[in-house]
Amino acid sequence: GTLQAAPAGPRGSAALGTFQSTLACVLGSTLELLDLGSGQLLERKVLSTDRVHLLEPPCPGLDNVEEPEGPGGLRLLSALGLFRVGWEAPPGVEPPPAKDLVFEEACGYYQRRSLRGAQLTPEELRRNGTFRAPQALASILQGHVPPPALLATLRTELRDYRSLEQLKARLVAGDEEEAGWTELAQQEVARLLRTELREDQLAQLNDVFRALPSAAWGAALRALQLQPDGSGRLRSQAPPDVWKKVLGGTAAGKEPPQGTLPPFELLCQCLCQLEPRWLPPFVELAQQQGGPGWGAGGPGPPLYRRALAVLGGEGPRPEALRLELLLGSGRPHAVLQAMAQLVRKERWERALDAGLALGPSSPLLRGEIFKLLLAEFAQHRQLDAHLSRLCRLCPPELAPAELLLLLRMYLPDEVGPPSPFPEPGAEPQLTVGLLRALLEQAGVQGQPPGQALSPYEDVLWDPGTPPPTPPRDL
């Protein structure tokens, strides 16, 4: 407990005594009574004298003195006589349990060593998983944690405290200032990513990312355990709880204040500045890690839209990132929107790469991409060089008859009578030779093995040598 009064000087008198579960302390002319179990102040009285002796019952010769009523009582002896003091706890008020006092005491300690200005509360300490020492101590008071587990928890916590205090001392002394601030930022980001991000913690995380983005991203990289693989993708071995904090936004689903970004948007913005090429793989990985209610697959905008919202600006780099985010979203509408942009820019190789990368996971979307490129193939000859890859994109269920019907829909309208040779300067027309590869692909995929393709046998069959010339009539 904490005594409210203090002696008037070095020569001031003091007296201490315990009576049942109460500590009595006389400092000068002030008497304070504290509960021994909780340290809570029970009573504070101002005496009329400053020379008092505490008498513990029973006192010889005073057996006829009537004891005060209530849970406690004590006798005071002074120059004015013998006095009796009684007290009672307020009705309906019980002293707080020991585990509550642990969190109250820890609040003052953490507030002194914290870098933030907001007041820390015991309720926040209870919910916050970062402050492991109060949790462990409160649990051991309840008998729930065995001593070996408690020792292991406190050893890690004390080591962290010691390294942090040493780092602060170096920063105050001005030694290794740049490296010290970087290390401090990394520790702070790692701590915040383990906590329940409330409004104050989220604002603090934003401040660290704005002040030291490289150090903050390095800490996030380690917290998420991100590693690139050989195919240009990212892998993560972080536990689901870490991803849940990153993707879930603020606590209790509240909107962050103006100018404050949630963790996912903050990481995307930092990647745009430091490593733009890793932004699309990071969003794809986040979409794989996300669970229901985390902002990925749950209520609210999908992750690729949240990443698009922080891009901003105009120019080739934001435009390229926007295109890759749409392609990697896995959403049909977004992918087709990106494919339309690629077609307008005549980036045929990238369009075919995106279509072939979908694989068997999205057969309907892959078929829509094939129809989109087939329409371009029917209207101009810029896709002729990529015909083999366009054939690979052909859906396996598409029959040759359906393919020809699609081509007929996409063929440009004839302006004049058909001609075997194009006009000078005009776009070359689609030929049967170019169609042959597509028809073969559709025929092979649509027919059982060994079955003849009778409707189109005259088109697909290659005799090798031309038939003999019929005789001419003279």
What pLDDT does 457 receive? 47
> In this structure, what CATH number is given to the domain that contains residue 55?
2.40.10
Is pLDDT larger for residue 22 or for residue 352?
352
Q: Are residues 226 and 321 in the same domain?
A: yes
Place of tokens 């189109």: 456
Using DSSP's 3-state secondary structure scheme, residue 169 falls into helix
Q: Are residues 211 and 291 in the same domain?
A: yes
Domain region containing 109: 98-175
In a domain, 466, yes or no: no
295-338 residue pLDDT tens: 444 567 889 999 998 887 666 788 899 999 999 888 899 999 99
- Which of 87, 111, 146 is at the close of a domain? 87
327-386 residue pLDDT tens: 988 889 999 999 999 999 999 999 999 989 886 678 889 889 999 999 999 888 888 888
- Which of 175, 209, 241 is at the close of a domain? 175
43-89 residue pLDDT tens: 888 887 777 778 765 544 444 444 444 444 678 788 788 877 776 65
Cα dihedral sign for 210, 212, 214, 215? negative
Q: Are residues 103 and 71 in the same domain?
A: no
CA-nearest of 302, 207, 318, 191 to 261 is 207
In a domain, 2, yes or no: no
Strands 234-236 and 41-46: unpaired
Q: Are residues 364 and 289 in the same domain?
A: no
Q: What is the DSSP string of 243-297?
A: HHHHHH-SGGGPPPPTT---HHHHHHHHHHHH-GGGHHHHHHHHHHH--TTTTSS
pLDDT tops 90 at residue 252 = no
Q: Are residues 195 and 323 in the same domain?
A: yes
What is the average pLDDT across 396-425?
Answer: 77
In a domain, 386, yes or no: yes
> Which structure tokens are listed for 173?
């002394």
- Banded pLDDT at 114 (limits 50, 70, 90): low
What pLDDT does 426 receive? 63
In a domain, 5, yes or no: no
Q: Are residues 44 and 60 in the same domain?
A: yes
Q: Are residues 351 and 316 in the same domain?
A: no
Q: Are residues 270 and 366 in the same domain?
A: no
Q: At what angle do helices 240-248 and 213-224 cross, to 10 degrees?
A: 140
Q: Are residues 246 and 315 in the same domain?
A: yes
Is pLDDT larger for residue 145 or for residue 207?
207
pTM for this prediction: 0.60
- Banded pLDDT at 176 (limits 50, 70, 90): low
In a domain, 239, yes or no: yes
Strands 14-19 and 22-27: antiparallel
Burial label for 58, CB within 10 Å (0-12, 13-18, 19+), is: exposed
Q: Cα-flanking dihedrals φ and ψ of residue 327, to 5°? A: -65, -35
What pLDDT does 5 receive? 61
Q: Would you say 135 and 141 are in contact if contact means Cβ atoms under 8 Å apart?
A: no
Q: Are residues 104 and 213 in the same domain?
A: no
pLDDT tops 90 at residue 126 = no
Q: How far, in Å, are 456, 464, 471 from residue 467 at the CA level?
A: 19, 9, 12
In a domain, 92, yes or no: no
- Which of 296, 329, 362 is at the close of a domain? 329
Q: Are residues 24 and 75 in the same domain?
A: yes
In a domain, 471, yes or no: no
Chain mean pLDDT for the chain: 77
> CA angle, corner 460, sides to 419 and 422, nearest 5?
15
Cα dihedral sign for 372, 374, 378, 384? positive
In a domain, 116, yes or no: yes
Q: Would you say 445 and 403 are in contact if contact means Cβ atoms under 8 Å apart?
A: no
> Which structure tokens are listed for 291?
């669970």
Q: Structurally, how many domains does the chain consist of?
A: 4
End-to-end CA distance of the chain: 129
Q: Are residues 143 and 160 in the same domain?
A: yes
Proportion of the chain above pLDDT 70, given as a percent: 74
